Structure 1
Amino acid sequence: MPKPRPVHDFARYLRTETTGGLILLAATALALLWANSPWGDAYRALRDFGIGPHWLHLDLSVGDWAKDGLLALFFFVAGLELKRELVVGELSRLKQAVLPAIAALGGMIVPALVALAAAWGTPGIDRAWAIPVATDIAFALGVLALTGSNLPSSARVFLLSLAVVDDLGAIVVIALLFTTGFNLVAAAVAVAACALYAFLQHRRVRSPWLYVPLVVITWVAVHTTGIHATIAGVVLGLLTRVRPDPGEEAAPAVRLEHRLQPWSAAVAVPVFALFAAGIEIDAKSLSEVFTTALPLGVLLGLVVGKPIGILGASALAVSTGLAERPGGTGWRDLAALSLLGGVGFTVSLLIADLALSGEAAERAKAAVLLASMVASLGAAVLLLRRNRVHGARED
């Protein structure tokens, strides 16, 4: 059996959390600068430019293609990682999986409650409560890689597992809350395509000439059903085989993750951020984040609700004996990681686009950007202090 082609060094470099986070940050900065520059009209014209076949209901704007199309790649990679963690990774062992799973649940429920409490009765909060439930894997792990190199590996495993479970919860919220109508014929096509994909995986078929058209058909069918198209990526990722056969160097999920993660980190997520984060910012719009109930609820949900939910649920699970604290990781380490969970970014921006429109969406996205900045900077300060403590212990 031929061995998989070696991955280029540059691709391996792109897969590092630090690089993915830096590219994402650069794309966000470019979006903000471009949208607020004298060429801002050109930015909005490009973002709103329609392209695609009308007969397939795919006459989408460039921004929608980034949101529905490119993010499907990101969610496919997330699905691969989730499947691997559930079957052969940290989440496959009950004792290791319990704490991040409970922490993720607390990190979803509390921010939603905080957002609802802060903006109760405000138009749009019936859907916008979902905005602060997500944690951005790439951004959060990037901050950890930059500031917490001396922290025990169990800290990274905890954050990664928490973010994976968190994203799974966000995916369920997107599927349930933002399904517009339902096309039964398209759903039948999507189910049939997914079943064929699973059958080909079971039969150990490896030809991309079969898989690529099948993936496209699945994506188009899911998009046509009224369910958000990124769900197609998650489902196909979860249907991919993660255990290697005897004599097989790597399972399909591992090979695909190695090949596609650089494209997700360097193209899909940054391009989405480029068209999602380009909001007009001035003193008035920034002040409205703090003086308008809905964006304030989003901000408080991420900056306050996330760390309280994650750390509180973790403490409850450990104190009741349901879970054990990760080895070598103290409560102050978990406090820093909990604050880092408030970096919502990619999925929060996506949910803001799905939940709201017009000025309300722009204010909510401004709140997400501000909250992600505050959470990442606050967590970085705490992580640097903990990094010095762990470094001194090693010396």
Structure 2
Amino acid sequence: MNKFKLLATSPMGIEAIVAKEVRDLGYDCQVENGKITYVGDALAIARSNLWLRTADRVKIVIGEFKATTFDQLFEGTKTLPWELFINEDSEFPVSGKSVKSTLHSVPDCQAIVKKAIVDRLKSKYRNTIWFKETGPKVPIEVSILKDRVTLTIDTSGTGLHKRGYRAYQGEAPLKETLAAALILLTNWTSDRPFVDLFCGSGTIPIEAALIGQNIAPGFNREFISEKWLWMDSKVWDEARIEAEDLANYDCPLQIFGSDIDHKMVDIAKANALEAGLGDLIEFKQMQATDFRTELQYGVVVSNPPYGERLGEREKVEKLYQDLGVTLQALDTWSIYMITSNEKFEQLVGKKATKKRKLFNGFIKTDYYQYYGPRKPIVK
């Protein structure tokens, strides 16, 4: 079976998590800013799309070369084996981006790449007229960074954060991929209680349940590469059978989500049902500062309000102060909070064990990590 250079794209700050996921699938990889590259076959493409919880997309790298002129871009593109991936009736749109490069006009670069691919396919398919492009879509991207061209094909289609379970969402939903990353950065294991005090549409608790039962996040959705003729459907069948066999649906979980907005709680419940996890997660309408529990050695992961909007900052800072009192009582728990408010530690009255810089969309945030004591080992 053919081997391909694969590229899992990643939000800035969580490349190491994506790399660990790739290695857990059995593939050696290299890590750069926003990119994790590795080699794999068609089965690796299917498995990566099904299993990578924190990557944005999985792409095939078709070729890389230097280009400072349109002629170099055209010829470099034309030498690549596009006929292995694009059939005579395939739709192949070209998107692009250019950063710190001589060829800075993205529309021109897209047009040149498209023309070069068409010329290549005409010679291979002996087609001297045009391509109808009525078949399965093969999205191509030309990315130029410091005059270095990378040409890729997207195997995912819709971004990997679109799990398929979030039928409803709030005003500022947390991406599923970031929610999964927040959880994977904790010390939580499925035998410990898990709580989100600002659950919104339920993304963090739902992702925790998927992780806790080792359910592949892409199991209930489709990917654009499933329709490609050169991707044997048996490959996808094999990958899904593997995912089904590895899922631990009988693993008991204690997962709780709350929100002050009863409408969001209803939405969270509906999304959990859509994900097939409705009976695993308890949702409740309540203020975060009212949370009390006798459970021990649990984990709190939350995305509280940031106070970014005019007039909200004072209210949010008072919330953080009150939250500090609530969390102080959870002396055996580990606490993880993501926020853009730089005064968070001061307001909750405790310095974090560790801070990690992350982006929530385009918002620069810190992930405040408060490690609790280790759970005793029961012999």
Same fold (TM over 0.5): no
TM-score, normalising length from structure 1?
A: 0.29
More helix by share: 1
Pick the structure with greater CA Rg.
2
Higher strand share: 2
